[in-house]
Amino acid sequence: MNSVADKLTSSVEEKSRPIITKWTHGQHRQDNLMRWVFVGSAALVSAIIFSIIVFVGIQGVKTFQDVSPLEFFLSTDWTPGSNKFGAFPFLYSTLLMTLVSVVISVPLALSGALFMAKIAPKWMREIMRPATDLFVGIPSVVYGLIGMTVIVPALGKLTGGIGYGILPASIILAIMILPTILSISEDAIRSLPGRLEEASLALGATRWQTMWRVLLPAARPGILTAIILGMGRAIGETMAVFMVIGNSPQMPKSLLDSTTVLTTAIVKDMGNTNYGTTWNNALYLMALLLLVISLSLILIIRIVAKRSELK
């Protein structure tokens, strides 16, 4: 009887072995195919990005054949008709506008993130989070139109000036980057282990002290990542800024002086130049500066994330 049973078992295994082997080989082929598809997609994206950087870099560096680096980066005289290509006002205005927008947006975003993560009831959070995310889908030209018809006239009445300048552009950018900083900061706070809050409350800290001295420092890597991503969005914004900043190629003396940033200078002048001229190459060099700034921000995010993992 045992021999008959052994024969039946061995025959069943022999019949099932080819089926299993065939199925396994098919799965391996699919896995290998998908792996090569992913590798090819990653290589294609990397090649496109690298090609853009190389093309913009080659065209931008040609500027230094006719303009010295010191003049381009340190001069405040931008008069292409006289072969003067000083881009320092554009770079200064870009950094100042980004800094002011972050200063305006970060306190509001962190307050909203703390409220939705630790204070708001579940039903309120389910309403507020999608409402906040809706701001991301609004076209930038709509923000610019609101800024041009509401914020600029209001600032003009308050100050007695024209109302255009870095301040209205910064207010618009603060509203635009607010959802990004708020969403990522809220996720960082909600991902913290509950024992941190429980331990703080058990030691006698108030709810506010727990949020301010325990939760925010613990979520600092995620919050810094959110702020850096918001800065990248602010630096690269064009249309909304173009509509409210005034677009005068001059060094701003105050936040309400009409000026130009790197993105708006490229948009405003690119259609007026011929390819290969010094003016055109200078605009490509500005684009290269924007790429370098964006890549630097991404590198900072990587460093912050890596340090947070080590801790």
Domains (range + CATH), the chain: 70-309 (1.10.3720.10)
Amino acid at position 241, single letter: V
Instruction: Retrieve residue 219's tokens.
Output: 């979520």
Q: What's the sign of the alpha-carbon dihedral 204, 207, 209, 210?
A: positive
The number of beta carbons lying within 10 Å of the beta carbon of residue 25 is 10
φ/ψ (deg, to 5) at 129: -65, -50
Helix (H, G, I), strand (E, B) or coil at 155: helix
Quote the pTM value.
0.82
- Residue found by looking up tokens 């995620």 in the block: 222
Run of H or E including 84: strand 84-85
- How many residues can be counted in the chain? 311
C-beta of residue 224 within 8 angstroms of C-beta of residue 184: no
C-beta of residue 72 within 8 angstroms of C-beta of residue 63: yes
Rg of the chain's alpha carbons, rounded to an integer?
A: 28
- Alpha carbon dihedral 301, 302, 307, 311, in 10-degree steps, equals 90
Query: pLDDT digit of tens for each residue in the chain (311 aa)?
Result: 445 455 545 554 555 455 556 667 777 778 888 889 999 999 999 999 899 989 999 999 999 988 999 999 999 899 888 888 999 999 999 999 999 999 999 999 999 999 998 888 888 888 888 888 888 788 889 999 999 999 999 998 988 888 899 999 999 999 999 999 999 999 999 988 888 888 888 888 888 888 888 888 888 888 988 998 888 888 888 888 999 998 888 888 888 888 999 999 998 888 888 888 999 999 999 999 999 988 888 888 778 767 665 44
pLDDT of residue 8: 47
